[in-house]
Amino acid sequence: MVSRVIPVDAFDLVIFGSTGDLARRKILPGLFRRFQSGQMPDSARVIGAARGDLTDESFRALAATAIAEFVPKARQDDAVIGQFLEKLSYVTIDASGEGGWPALKARMRDGVVRAFYFSVAPALFGDLAERLHLHGIADSASRIVVEKPFGRDLQSARALNSVLAKHFTEAQIYRIDHYLGKETVQNLMAVRFANILFEPLWKSEYIDHVQITVAETVGVQGRGAYYDKSGAMRDMVQNHMMQLLCLIAMEPPYHFDPNAVRDEKLKVIRALQPVGPQDIVRGQYLKAGGEGGYLDHSGNPASRTESYIALKVQVANWRWQGTPFYLRTGKRLRARASEIAITFKEPPHSIFDDAQGWRENVLVIRLQPDEGMNLMVMIKEPGPGGMRLMQVPLDMSFAEALGDEAEDVPDAYERLIMDVIRGNQTLFMRGDEVEAAWAWTDPIIAAWENRGDRPQGYDPGSSGPEDALMLMHKDGRRWREIKG
């Protein structure tokens, strides 16, 4: 395969919270993969910064362990790992005090991109931003990267945005939603805007409804304390599912340019209608056999937090009037499967006497696993005996279609970190987008909290709560089966 990896500019990347879970699971292994693929220039440096009393050596050892654990074995090459580790160093830092800042300043070089990854609790964002300026470490060309959760409601998101805005312009702030870094999620834009085939049909005149599913098999054990304060609506819908919805529903941007794309997404979020209780189902997985249920995993026996949510969403604009979007996501479901299914309407008139075999055209975009596309089309059932119809899939697995090229696809974090260095904000959320998403989410959550609603129980390994079926049945529709 011809390598299309284009090296990025020289950089100093400081990871605050560099000994935490995200750094070990995603950031350090991701950086290693980009180094291995030749994208990271020789002169790049990664500086870990955290409270712990580590040395350069012990931080390198931590990174080596993270690579051993989270990079596929076939891609672990001791010599390359050794070269990568040489780029790493460590500074003990007091995020809200003064310790370590002069040492960090001394590590930074002039003439390279300076990026600061805030892989820490949002409560520390303000302290970090302030000290980076106070100590003359960040300048007007520096970039900061922040993670979700970006607030837990509109008010807290606004507060975070204004804390960051005191020291950084919007063009310097990279808010990560890792779904936007997924290859298949970006492919949604390629499919929609690089083919003439779909766009003329991409509207309520031809589309009956859209289903967006992000099903997971994992429970919340190990992160129950965080999750119980969040729930599926805050953890998945306000961000990841919202982004998927935007990419499907938005108007074509005039260019694949950060603000052009984000302007169009913002318009979709602003066009979302309020969702009433009749259009929401919340679920919580139960205890099964000897296995703990949500209440055990969350550590809160009285919890009313949802580990599953399904909702019917309307986008109030010309394009989508009358075409509902059904969203569902949950933990401990039957399979890990994320997909977007676009169900088209029936032809205006059937010329066939026997239309019994007729089914709707459905375009399914599989996001994970086995990324690909599947278009369900009608053909003639083979053989004599008249014209009978049957449905067949035009199925394309990206792995099969792309062969070797699919193997070296960077994962979401790898790509997004390199985009920060390149200064490309297209795949990052703008402050107003995040706020608009909370402005839509807040009243929905407030309504069920005020009513004191309890989520409906569902069996681990099932498709979710029974009531979720009704959400579609009452509209004469059905969820697609959740299959891995």
Active site residues: 240
> Which residue, 202 or 413, has its beta carbon nearer to ligand BG6?
413
Cα–Cα distance for residue pair 211/222, rounded to 1 Å: 30
Beta carbons within 10 angstroms of residue 116's beta carbon? 27
**Residue 331 CB, nearest approach to ligand BG6 (Å):** 7
> Which residue, 64 or 236, has its beta carbon nearer to ligand BG6?
236
**Comparing C-alpha atoms, which of 149, 147, 174 is closest to residue 22?**
147
- Which segments within 371-477 are labelled E, that is strand? 372-380, 389-397, 456-458
Residues binding ligand BG6: what is the number (CB under 6 A)? 3
Instruction: Select from 12, 208, 216, 414 the one that contacts ligand BG6 (CB under 6 A).
Output: 216
**Residue 240 CB, nearest approach to ligand BG6 (Å):** 6
**Residue 214 CB, nearest approach to ligand BG6 (Å):** 6
> Which residue, 20 or 357, has its beta carbon nearer to ligand BG6?
20
> Which residue, 221 or 314, has its beta carbon nearer to ligand BG6?
221
Q: How far apart are the first and last CA of the chain?
A: 29
Instruction: Decide the pairing of beta strands 207-215 and 280-285.
Output: unpaired
Q: What is residue 392's DSSP assignment?
A: E
From residue 447 to residue 476, the character string flagging contacts with ligand BG6 as x (rule: CB under 6 A) and all else as - is ------------------------------
> Which residue, 223 or 345, has its beta carbon nearer to ligand BG6?
223
**Residue 461 CB, nearest approach to ligand BG6 (Å):** 17
Map tokens 């401990």 to a residue: 332
**Residue 26 CB, nearest approach to ligand BG6 (Å):** 10
Instruction: Select from 12, 208, 235, 306 the one that contacts ligand BG6 (CB under 6 A).
Output: 235
403 Cβ contact list (under 8 Å, min separation 6):
none
- What is the distance, to the nearest Å, from the Cα of residue 166 to the centroid of all Cα atoms in its chain? 27
Show the DSSP H helices in 71-124 as ranges.
78-85, 101-107
Please tell me whether residue 12 binds ligand BG6 under the rule CB under 6 A.
no
Instruction: Decide the pairing of beta strands 280-285 and 113-118.
Output: unpaired
- Within 347-376, the residues that bind ligand BG6 by CB under 6 A are none
Q: Which residues bind ligand BG6 (CB under 6 A)?
A: 148, 216, 235
